Amino acid sequence: MKIAVLLAQNHQVTAVDVAKERVDMINALKCPIVDAELETFLSDKPLKLRATLDAEAAYSDAEFVIIATPTDYDTDTNYFDTSSVEAVIDQVSAVNPAATIVIKSTIPVGFVQRLRAERGINTLMFSPEFLREGQALYDNLHPSRIIVGSQSEAEAIKLFANTYLAMRVAFFNELDSYAMAGGMEARQIIAGTGHDPRIGNHYNNPFFGYGGYCLPKDTKQLLANYSEVPQNLIRAIVDANHTRKDFLADQIIAKAPNVVGIYRLVMKAGSDNFRRSSIQGIMKRIKAKGIKVVVFEPVLQQDDFFGSAVVRDLETFKQVSDVIVANRLTDEIRDVESKIFTRDLSGTD
Ligand SMILES: NC(=O)c1ccc[n+]([C@@H]2O[C@H](COP(=O)([O-])OP(=O)(O)OC[C@H]3O[C@@H](n4cnc5c(N)ncnc54)[C@H](O)[C@@H]3O)[C@@H](O)[C@H]2O)c1
């Protein structure tokens, strides 16, 4: 979506999707995700952009086809499910074999080389996306780096970059768990640690775990790519996320609440995306102990989220919850501070 908008400033772009509502929204110049800059571009800029469900027609006269379909981690194969990417590659090859295909979806190391050999396509390459949730267009307009590759190095760069970010979050999360267990001030330890410029005082606010769509799946995929290579750290980064959530859920359960309120499912303030957010792991563990859980999440349309009631009115939510679990603190819940369980120490992401 963000690549389509970016390129449509200067080039004719056709956005293909299998979801009709997304196609309709783009054609109505409405943004299908929460992203301030993307919304402004769609409403204010003259863009050469249209969206369609007709993949064949769109691919047949394109010079470049850019693929950004999902690659979920498949727990049965312990590998990314790349079927949607492969389906698009096959569609393009059938109608327009001369088109250059650029994969932006995150893929396993070795994917492009394998596909090039298996399908006999030499116009296939990978250019990883490096962006933050809710700031996708901004990060595309001001990229930290642009990487394009047809060898496996580009795929490895993407997975190592995200695994490093997960490691950093997991490190400060474990520092925080240690401080909690020993009755120490995590905030002080984090500040003092970060004053070393090699460490830095950035990206160090504890979370319930690292989460969002990408970090959990990309770390697992990198671990799978290590199957023939000795390692300790990559496995530890994957495992640390479960340990952190177990520890925090136990702390909440120890308060013996009758009702636990989950305040926002999203990973970050300013996002509408709660895929694989870490608070859901906490929620699952609390529910498994038979404790009633209610959810406050304005982004949700439905009244029920995995068997828990979605409470629309914030005041009611505050009243019925004995403990309010919040991955990030906001002003709208500060009046019930005594009920809040959070590890948000600095109000940053
Ligand atoms: N979201 C991020 O911040 C981010 C960052 C870097 C990399 N990535 C990678 O980009 C890829 C996509 O992630 P996303 O967050 O944009 O996913 P998304 O689910 O928001 O968007 C994917 C879109 O692809 C459509 N789609 C699925 N199958 C299709 C097909 N066969 N043909 C056409 N459209 C199809 C879906 O309907 C959906 O609209 C993933 O591999 C992800 O790991 C995402």
Residues in Cβ contact with 32 at an 8 Å cutoff, skipping those fewer than 6 apart: 1, 21, 22, 25, 26
| CA of 1 relative to ligand 1 center, distance in Å | 9
Pocket test for ligand 1, best of 17, 131, 218, 219 (most atoms within 8 A of CB): 17
User: Around Cβ 12, how many Cβ atoms within 10 Å?
Assistant: 12
Binding site membership of 35 for ligand 1 (Cβ less than 6 Å):
no
Is residue 214 part of the annotated active site? The answer reads yes
Query: Sign of the CA dihedral 254, 258, 264, 265?
Result: positive
Binding site membership of 16 for ligand 1 (Cβ less than 6 Å):
yes
CB 98 within 8 A of CB 123: yes
Mean pLDDT value across residues 22-32: 94
HEC secondary structure over 123-167: CEEECCCCCCCCCHHHHHHCCCCCCCECCCHHHHHHHHHHHHHHH
Q: Tell me the domains of the chain and their CATH numbers.
A: 2-151 (3.40.50.720), 160-341 (3.40.50.720)
Alpha-carbon span 215 to 166, nearest angstrom: 6
Which residues on neighbouring strands pair with residue 13, listed in sequence order? 49
Ramachandran quadrant class, 148 (left: phi over 0; alpha: psi -120 to 50; beta: rest): beta
What are the CA-CA distances from residue 178 to residues 51, 172, 254, 320 (Å)? Answer: 50, 10, 17, 31
Mean pLDDT value across residues 78-104: 97
| 48-62, 69-83, 127-141: the lowest-pLDDT one | 127-141
Q: Which residue has the higher pLDDT, 178 or 131?
A: 178
* 276-315: pLDDT as tens digits: 999 999 999 999 999 999 999 999 999 999 999 999 999 9
pTM: 0.95
Q: What percent of the chain has a predicted confidence (pLDDT) above 90?
A: 91
| CA of 309 relative to ligand 1 center, distance in Å | 29
* 321-334: pLDDT as tens digits: 999 999 999 999 99
Structure tokens at 253: 């359960």
Q: What percent of the chain has a predicted confidence (pLDDT) above 70?
A: 100
Mean pLDDT value across residues 208-229: 96
Q: What is the pLDDT of residue 269?
A: 72
- Asked whether residue 271 carries a pLDDT value surpassing 80, the answer given is no
pLDDT band for position 227 (cuts 50, 70, 90): very high
Averaged confidence pLDDT in the chain: 96
pLDDT band for position 34 (cuts 50, 70, 90): confident
DSSP 256: -
Mean pLDDT value across residues 160-168: 98
Alpha-carbon span 334 to 345, nearest angstrom: 14
Nearest to 92 by CA among 127, 54, 56: 56
Whose tokens are 């959070």? That residue is 342
* 35-57: pLDDT as tens digits: 888 999 999 999 999 999 999 99
| Set 214, 240, 248, 295: catalytic member | 214
